[in-house]
Amino acid sequence: MREKNIQVIQQLLSAPKKIAIIPHRNPDGDAMGSTLGLYHFLLKNNHFPTVISPNEYPDFLAWMPGSETIKIYEKDKISCTQLLHEAELVFTLDFNALHRVGEMENVLNTLTAPFVMIDHHQSPDEYALISFSDVAYGSTCEMVYNFIAALGKKSEIDKTIGTCIYTGILTDSGSFRFPKTTGNTHRIVADLIDLGVENTEIPNLLFDNSSFGSLQLLGKALQNMKIFYTNKTSYTTLTQDELDCFNYVKGDTEGIVNYGLSIKGIDFSAIFIENKEDKIIKISFRSQGDFDVNQFARDYFNGGGHRNAAGGKSEVSMEETIRKFEELIPTLKI
């Protein structure tokens, strides 16, 4: 974080302001953790922040401190549009291209307030006055911790802010296993634990709260899985009918894609999930090692992300999407 940029932010935050804080659509643990962590920090500094999420957050994150204050754009467009227009400063966290907020992009494009981006994805767009964009970080939450520290306010990080930050570090690092987990990540986590962050309770809240339906859905996805050992690839599918059959709620498919990667000899896995309402097949890709799923998602499935975790979408049927994917498999260098 460059000294000059930090000075600009210090200037922007020198008097109380109305501030909008925005995560990407379908916010995950890092998007929720970073926006809520920043929210509590700004509140503590006498600002008037509001987290405005493009759509509903998943149930397994509803316990997070401050989640009850989040405004949902797609549920309440009129008041969210007004809040966005009133904002004197806009933070966008855990994404770097405005289309990641869905329909809310149309409103963001009309705003005149300065934008600050904090994000760890590749190839940032240039919409922000100040961009803290760094793919070396495993999570936006880790960046928010460093951002607050760079403002000289590390001592203001308390248990509430720490709980939010810890959640995103935990979820985006695959519980501290993914390659971008560094000594600094663990040093931050150590500080957060010293502040009282409940490091054993939070994983329970996140991961040990399954419904029976979500476990059955996982079972279905495992049954549907196909393996291509010669290409080190596996994929699975869930149709809308299958989701409905097991009373799917948002968040139930989180993490299923990782099961494919846990198979010996598999370095690339994908999950294709039908969404009839949005008329798309939502896709998640994961890899281990050098195969770049961000590039793959960009090239073939209108998406992006990171080298080892990316997503995309397809606007044709499940059958056609799978046919395209299966045709690509033998051409990939995995």
Instruction: Find all residues with CB under 8 Å of 133, minimum gap 6, and list them.
Output: 96, 117, 118, 119, 120, 121, 124
* Nearest-5° Cα angle at 171, 210 to 24: 100
Pick between residue 94 and residue 242 the one whose CB is nearest to Mn ion: 94
Instruction: List the structure tokens of 303.
Output: 């998406």
What character string, x for contact with Mn ion (CB under 5 A) and - otherwise, covers 166-205? ------x---------------------------------
What is the torsional sign of CA 301, 304, 310, 315? Answer: negative
Q: Enter the DSSP assignment of 24.
A: P
Helices (H), the chain: 3-12, 29-44, 77-86, 105-108, 140-150, 159-172, 183-194, 201-207, 212-224, 240-245, 257-261, 293-300, 318-328
d(Cα 154, Cα 287) in Å, to the nearest integer?
35
Enumerate residues 3-42 that contact ligand 5GP by CB under 6 A.
Answer: 28
- State in angstroms the smallest separation of the CB of 245 from ligand 5GP: 22
- Contact segment (CB under 5 A) with Mn ion among 100-108, 165-173, 214-222, 229-237 equals 165-173
Q: Is 310 one of the binding residues for ligand 5GP (CB under 6 A)?
A: yes
Q: Is 312 one of the binding residues for ligand 5GP (CB under 6 A)?
A: yes
Among 305, 307, 314, 325, binds ligand 5GP (CB under 6 A): 305
Please identify the residue of the shown chain whose CB is closest to the bound Mn ion.
30
Residue 313 binds which entry of Mn ion, ligand 5GP, none, CB below 5-8 Å type-dependent? ligand 5GP
Among 36, 143, 313, 322, binds ligand 5GP (CB under 6 A): 313
Pick between residue 144 and residue 266 the one whose CB is nearest to Mn ion: 144
- State in angstroms the smallest separation of the CB of 14 from ligand 5GP: 32
d(Cα 211, Cα 60) in Å, to the nearest integer?
10
Pick between residue 28 and residue 252 the one whose CB is nearest to ligand 5GP: 28
Q: Report phi then psi at 9, rounded to 5.
A: -65, -45
Residues of the shown chain interacting with ligand 5GP in the complex, contacts defined by CB under 6 A: 28, 284, 303-306, 309-313
